[in-house]
Chain A
Amino acid sequence: MFAAAALALLATLALTLLRAARGPSVFDRLLATNTVGTCAVLLLAVIGFLTGRPEFLDLALVYGLLNVIGTVAVLKFFRQGALGDPGNGNGNGAAR
């Protein structure tokens, strides 16, 4: 059962990597990376139960939080063109 889930997750990872490689727009790649993070969380849980030691589920929580941080950083960069600006309000955009 867990082995089938792990195989399905690996297939999903391969397809997601294909989208990240082919992806015409940057947003395809961003979404692919986000999906890889989600797959990593799921694969972590599945590996834990596959080996009979689900003690490392806490690590999956850390991965989930990191995924959010990365995506928020990328989107903020796109919105404002920089990170850590003093915030003077003129969004000058990243598409330079």
Chain B
Amino acid sequence: METLIVNVLLTLMMLAVVVLARTRNLFAVIVLSGLYSFLMATAMVALDAVDVAMTEAAVGAGISTVLLLGALHLCRSEEAKPAHKPWLPLAVTASAGLLLVYGTWDLPAFSDPEAPIHKHVAPRYLADGPRETGVPNVVTAVLASYRGFDTLGETTVVFTAGAGIIALLRRRRRTTADKEAP
């Protein structure tokens, strides 16, 4: 039953992407991408990745809808016709997708406990994590201690992205000096 749900959701997401690519009205595109994010988040929940699903729903359907609407205010509401034929980018994308599908053939089965990723460092984190880091929660120990620099880099990236978006979308408030200048 869960497999059926996930398959139907993925099919709907594929259809949504096709509709998104064919729509020229940018406002409709923003609304449809929110729809896509909700489908994606539901599929993540069906795959037991609840934290990723929550992030996807908050970022994809919540914040990016608001940010894209703010950006739409600054540009035209219709997408321009592309100047080039899309055949070369389409071929590159399709071949990259085929390569990725070919790569999935060698993956271990979904949620297989014997998969190599669960055999490498995870047993040591589980066994020695509380003693080595002093953090009782294993997930927090891995994120904040074993991968501390990684997490610091991610936080820096998120901060830079937020600062850039604020700098782009901020509107200059008209001051009295601006009015008197011209």
Contact = CB atoms under 8 A, between A and B. Distances in A.
Interface of A: 3, 6, 10, 13-14, 17, 20-21, 23, 26, 29-30, 32-33, 36-37, 40, 43-44, 47, 50-51, 56, 59, 62-63, 66-67, 69-70, 73-74, 77, 81-86, 94, 96
Interface in B133-176: 169, 171, 173
> Which of B35, B61, B66, B173 has most chain A Cβ within 10 Å?
B35
B35 A33 contact: yes
Interface of B: 1-2, 5, 8-9, 12, 15-16, 19, 25, 27-28, 30-32, 34-35, 38-39, 41-42, 45-46, 50, 53-54, 57-58, 61-62, 65-66, 69-70, 72-73, 77, 169, 171, 173
A83 B25 CA distance: 19
Contact of A21 (B19, B27, B45, B53): B19
B75 to A, nearest CB: 11
Given A29-B28, A73-B65, A82 B45 contact: no
Contact of A40 (B2, B42, B50, B65): B42
Given A20-B35, A59-B53, 8 more contacts: A13-B39, A20-B19, A26-B25, A29-B28, A59-B45, A70-B34, A82-B70, A83-B70
29 contacts: A6-B5, A20-B16, A20-B31, A21-B16, A21-B19, A26-B28, A30-B31, A33-B32, A33-B34, A33-B35, A37-B61, A43-B42, A47-B5, A47-B46, A56-B50, A59-B45, A62-B54, A62-B57, A63-B41, A66-B58, A67-B38, A70-B61, A73-B69, A77-B72, A82-B73, A83-B70, A84-B169, A85-B171, A94-B77
